[in-house]
A and B are shown apart, each in its own frame.
Chain A
């Protein structure tokens, strides 16, 4: 047994930290548990109790299994960091779907996992049946999943990490972020939470008040406010009701959500910089500039085209039905102010294509949003401009291009290459997902729209996502959401690790 430990310490390290992250997330189940108890929903409460026990047990087992390596304080490599992040997301997907399955609202394990992954990755597509009659506890759980997923389960676990931050930064990077708000990643994780919690208070309050204004009962308005805020801030797109944002029929409510989902799509580094008083950052930051340009252009084109088609001709409805959806798509939120099939029937190919493009571009890096991220779009764009400038200036002149993202960075070839490669990965993912959709008979526009929605973790649906979708498509969508959110590398690392492990096992026999 000792030989095994020294020859593949990785298994133990991965096991320990994955277990740690699972336990951290499992404790979160107390919130819906309490909610159900308060609301007198006994069955859901029991469901959560069972789920929590299963998760805690799993987490503890993993931690105990890996504990011996931990006390040897071996080094956590980059690959372990990525693998831990990727693996914990997969395991949590299964564990967190247990409440769904026990509630009877999902048709299969696959559907349950789909919804959980949709929540974690802040996508927002739903396969849960009969959403309007979900227990408050379960609804609470869905929205919490998306809130946590936005910040990151790893970030959650790291904020409580007491000792041995060895390798912590690497696990953090595995979840798709890499920004350091303060030198130590533990501090960074805590600040991300502080920012999110402050906005949680402000946002819930705002939506609660608005909810009461539009006629919801105080208790109901509170839950709706809390859930909708969690969904907006995390750019998730879940809502307590099937009609999504249309349930509220309120311009004010919609506008408040716009504020919060745009805020949520901004880089945490930007939030922190502004908290510290560096207000100029809003103007100088490459992502803000990029977002401003792309969202403005997209809204403008969409509004013009749709009014030309005669679908929405007055300003208010253009804003509420067109601009809202474009912004919702661009920030990868997924609140839909039109019904799914309206996209297909009313928007026409131009409108759908605009939506596809903005969904793929997505929000800012190191935020709750998905997509390529504005940072990469900005980098590649500036890279192209720099190349053109190089061609136009004398051979001997030396030019160094820079970009500003909290700090000033040099726009060197490795940076541009890295950004381009990830964009390529997203495009390939998008292509494969679209291909699969068309294979099953969905139209090109429909498949593309849905594929962009999953790859960019958006959550708007054109009607393809439903419980009757072919199982393979559900699996592909889960995979797409997962890859898109974690930005490929950690999932590839996990994949490689597993294959490597299998090879080793086969070789030994």
Chain B
């Protein structure tokens, strides 16, 4: 299965390394070469430096064959733009974006983009610890 990960920060790089080890075909895109170095030179996948939603870069990453596109950059607008392009232009089956700023939740909803909300998840987990519920 081909998966494209856009954004190679801590989350992006960790995700990429784990998925690559699990045997998936992973391509990581980030505009900063320094960020891509976090993957290490032995990374079992493609590391591409370029503008995250650029047509040529996406094609190089193999978006036409991708089953998943995961947006995990720190910039919500970038995530939205790339998600829209992946969904509507390249017709990728599953596009998942990370929400950085929780107040943008509605925007993602309006634009019909599947999301993961780390702030919500983490606050929920901490709340459960405080309230002593079993995880």
Contact = CB atoms under 8 A, between A and B. Distances in A.
The answer to whether A and B touch in the complex, with CB atoms under 8 Å apart, is yes
A144 to B, nearest CB: 28
Given A165-B21, A165-B23, A183-B25, A81 B45 contact: no
A169 interface: yes
Contacts of B86: none
Interface string A169-187: 1100100000010111111
B26 interface: yes
A355 B26 CA distance: 44
Contacts of A186: 23
A9 interface: no
Contacts, number: 44
Interface in B1-43: 2, 20-27, 41-43
Contacts of B42: 78, 81, 167, 169-170, 173
A183 B41 contact: no
Nearest to A185: B44
Contacts of B43: 169
Nearest to B23: A165
A183 B45 contact: yes
Contact of B20 (A78, A173, A183): A183
Contacts of B22: 163, 165
Nearest to B43: A169
A164 interface: yes
A169 B43 CA distance: 7
Contacts of A81: 42
B51 interface: no
A197 B60 CA distance: 27
B116 interface: no
Contacts of B62: 182-183
B46 interface: yes
A262 interface: no
Which 9 A-B pairs have CB atoms at the shortest separation, nearest pair first?
A: A183-B45, A183-B25, A170-B42, A169-B44, A183-B46, A166-B21, A184-B25, A183-B26, A185-B44
Interface of B: 2, 20-27, 41-46, 60, 62
10 contacts: A78-B41, A78-B42, A81-B42, A165-B20, A166-B44, A169-B43, A183-B25, A183-B44, A186-B23, A187-B25
